[in-house]
Amino acid sequence: MSASPREPTAPRRTVPPRPGPAVPATALLDAYRPGTDRFLATPRRTLLGTGTTAEVPHDDRPPAVRVREALDAARRAGHTAPVVMGSLPFDPWAAGSLAVPETVRRATALREDPLVSRPVPDGGPGTWQTREVPAPATYTAAVAAAVRRMRAGEFDKIVLARTLELTSSHDLDLPAMLRRLARHDPGGYTFALPSGPGRTLIGASPELLVARTGNRLTANPLAGSAPRSDDLAEDVRRAAALLESPKDLHEHAVVVEAVRAALAPFCASLEVPRQPTLVRTEAMWHLSTTVTGTLTAPATTSLDLASALHPTPAVCGTPTDVARAVIAESEPFDRGAYTGMVGWQDADGDGEWVVTIRCAEAEGRSLRLFAGAGVVAASSPDAETGAKFRTFLNAVGATL
C-alpha cells in the first residue's frame, strides 16, 4: 500500500489508504534514506518509516510500558495506526532508539518481490582500513580465560564478541549496503535505522526473537552454528555434522529451554518441537527451533514478550547475570545495540522483534562490525566470528 496521505489541517493525522495496487517491497528498499528513515524487512512484511512524530523516552520504566504510552499518545494526537520502530540495546538498563515515525509505508515481504534479485552496483573505487578490537591474541586469551572459569564451575556458557572497525576512503553509501544485504538474504530480517546522532544501525539478522499477532506468538531461537563452504559437498557435510553435534545440540537445547521458561507464564498453550531443524544464511548454518503459543492475556504485547526473553543464552550465556558480568570484564568495548533487539510494534500490541546480530553501526566514514561466538571447551570462536563477519564484509566489498 502507498503511504497514508495527511490532512492539511492536521499534519500528524493519517487517514485510511485508498484502494490501489500493492507497493513492491523493493520500492520501499530503494526509497530508504539514512538519517530520517527507518527500514525493516521481515519474512512477513516490509516497513519504511519516515520522519519522527515522537521519540520514546528513556527512564526507569520497562520499555514495553514506555512504548505503550507513546503509541497511546500518538492515537490521541490523531494517528489512526501509529507504529513504534527502532532498537533496544544489549544492556536492558541503557537507552535505546525507539520512535513513532510520521508515516509508515508497508509492503509484502522482500522475498516475494522478484525485483529483489536485481544486482546492486558495487560502491565504486575505494579502500578500507581495518582494525580488530580486541586484537586477535587478546580475544584468544579472553576465550581461554573464560574456558578455565567454566571448568572451575563459575558459569555454564558465555558468548564473547569482538568487533572489526572499518574506515573507508570515501563516504559510505548506506542505501547500497542495505540493498546488498537484502539481496543476499531476502528471507531474513534486514534493517537500517538511526541509533544516535549521526549514527545508523544496519544489518541482516537471521534470528526472530519473538513476534505477536493477535493472541498468537512465534519465537525462533538459533543456537549452534557452523560456517558454510563454497564447495557444495563440503557444505552439505557441515550441515549434516551440525545436526549430529553433541556440543551444538546441547547448546541449542539450553537456549530453547530458556525460551520456553520465559514464555510459558504468558501462554495458555505453548508448542516446542523436540528436535531442531537447520536454517542457512549466506555465511552460516544454524540449528533452529520454531516455538509457537497462544497468549493467556490479550493485553500482553510483543515487547512484553521480547523483554521477558532478552537476553537469551544464545547472545549472553548462562546463568544470565554471571555471564553478563563476565562479558563486561572481558570485552573492551560497549556492545550498544549489538545483541539487543530491533523491531516494531503497533498500538494493538502486535509486532516483531529480532535479535540484533550480523550488524554494524555506521558513523561518518566508519563502520563497526560485531560478531560473537558461544564459548565452550570444544569451540573455535575465532573461526566462528570470522565467518559471521562475512555477511557484512560481502555487502561492503571488504575482507578480513
Q: Hey, which residues are catalytic here?
A: 157, 207
**Quick one: DSSP state of residue 14?**
B
All three cell numbers of 50, joined, read 519516515
Give the whole-angstrom CA distance, residue 198 versus residue 250.
Answer: 41
258 residue type, one letter? A
All three cell numbers of 55, joined, read 521519540
Burial class (CB in 10 A: 0-12, 13-18, 19+), 297: exposed
